[in-house]
Amino acid sequence: MKSSVGILSCPSLLAERRVVIRRLGIWPAVFALVGLLLFTGTIAWLGWGDVIRALERISLPGFIAYLGVQMVIIAGLALAWRLLLRRRYGGSFLLLYWGRMVRDSAGEFLPFSHVGGFVIGGRAIALGGVAFADAAASTLADVTLEFLAELVFVGIGVILLVALVPDSALVLPMSIGLAMALVAGLSFLLMQKGMSRLFSGLAMRIAGQSADAASIGIQRLQSALDTIYARRGRLIAAGAMHLLCWFGTGVASFVAFRALGQNISLRDALAIEALLHAILSTGFFVPGRLGVQEAAYTLLGAVFGIPPDIALSVSLLRRARDLLIAVPVLLAWQGIEARRLQPVSGDLG
């Protein structure tokens, strides 16, 4: 099949960003300010000196090990995505690895939410040669499986919380939140049948607003999505890989705590990581979950007997790791988009 490179144009994405920004108005700035205040307040409450002293404990090999675990997790996520693509039209593992890094980096650090990360990640593999319909459909299916696997992981975290700290005040709200998330997960899955406006809109944003994208039509997108969901074996394998990667985040958390000198069990680290994601999901509207992540680590650290300066240091270490990955990825992505703009500029001249 012909490459989708001609369909996915950089100007269309820039137009989408402008539309999104106009619709959201000042709210992103408001949420960012709230997050910054929460971040500053958390550090002020704990004391910056204690946090600095905690961060000074980590060695370069310890940070490299922490970073290495994350790179392995990304490899697992890329494999899960690759399992969903039809072999005939699918990209290479390395292309999916690149697409996954672009998706996560954009969703975490660019100012238009995780949905923007989904769009740019889908564009990344389409620009690498994956057909538009397959890029869009596989992105939707992959996001769905990752979300469902996350619910299982959070459920395990709630079970561990009940077993380890049964009198915690977090048990009830976490249980209620998990039940609500399960309902949302089922709705998320059912909405894809018939390509609801939400999913068709997301798919067309991956394509960009062009005549070629419009000619492909929602029917072809639905056909590609139906093909993915008809392959039960690959769905199960991809879902299992996503769940394994969620457990991998617990291992990464374990490595981070140990690198800071905190004697923590792998079980406690898994519980903290699972419950952390449950809390972070409530702060999706705050850019980068700034402040939300720091407060969540501090809260969960207190529940599991971890000093607040260590808990906050793990959050800062996590941000340093994500930034170290995201900066070169986003710079490379912008370079790719800039090169694609050059012929357009030449034509206009």
Predicted local confidence at residue 188, as pLDDT:
67
Predicted local confidence at residue 8, as pLDDT:
33
pLDDT surpasses 70 at 58 = yes
Predicted local confidence at residue 203, as pLDDT:
64
Sign, Cα dihedral of 10, 12, 13, 15: positive
φ/ψ of residue 67, rounded to 5:
-65, -40
Predicted local confidence at residue 20, as pLDDT:
44
Residue 288's domain comprises: 10-348
Q: Is residue 5 part of a domain?
A: no
d(CA 311, CA 302): 8
Of 48-52, 169-173, 339-343, which range is least confident? 48-52
Token pair for residue 196? 């609801």
Q: Is residue 2 part of a domain?
A: no
Q: Is residue 202 part of a domain?
A: yes
What does pLDDT average to over the chain? 77
HSE-CB for 269 with a 13 A CA cutoff: 20
Determine what percent of the chain is predicted with pLDDT higher than 70: 68
pTM of the shown model: 0.80
* Average confidence (pLDDT) over 324-346: 75
What HEC string does the chain produce?
A: CCCCCCCCCHHHHHHHHHHHHHHHCCHHHHHHHHHHHHHHHHHHHHCHHHHHHHHCCCCHHHHHHHHHHHHHHHHHHHHHHHHHCCCCCCCCHHHHHHHHHHHHHHHHHCCCHHHHHHHHHHHHHHHCCCCHHHHHHHHHHHHHHHHHHHHHHHHHHHHHHHHHCCCCCCHHHHHHHHHHHHHHHHHHHHCCCCCCHHHHHHHHHHHCCCHHHHHHHHHHHHHHHHHHHHCHHHHHHHHHHHHHHHHHHHHHHHHHHHHCCCCCCHHHHHHHHHHHHHHHHHHCCCHHHCCHHHHHHHHHHHHCCCCHHHHHHHHHHHHHHHHHHHHHHHHHHHHHHHHHHHHHHHHHC
Q: Is residue 41 part of a domain?
A: yes
Q: Is residue 312 part of a domain?
A: yes
Predicted local confidence at residue 304, as pLDDT:
93
Of 39-48, 95-104, 113-122, 300-309, which range is least confident? 39-48
Predicted local confidence at residue 111, as pLDDT:
60
Predicted local confidence at residue 107, as pLDDT:
83
Predicted local confidence at residue 201, as pLDDT:
63
Predicted local confidence at residue 106, as pLDDT:
87
Q: Which residue would you say has higher pLDDT here, 210 or 87?
A: 87
d(CA 100, CA 238): 14
Predicted local confidence at residue 125, as pLDDT:
92
d(CA 174, CA 159): 10
Q: Is residue 4 part of a domain?
A: no
Predicted local confidence at residue 162, as pLDDT:
92
pLDDT surpasses 80 at 59 = yes
Q: Is residue 3 part of a domain?
A: no
Q: Is residue 73 part of a domain?
A: yes
> pLDDT band at residue 235, thresholds of 50, 70 and 90?
very high
Number of domains present in the structure of the chain: 1
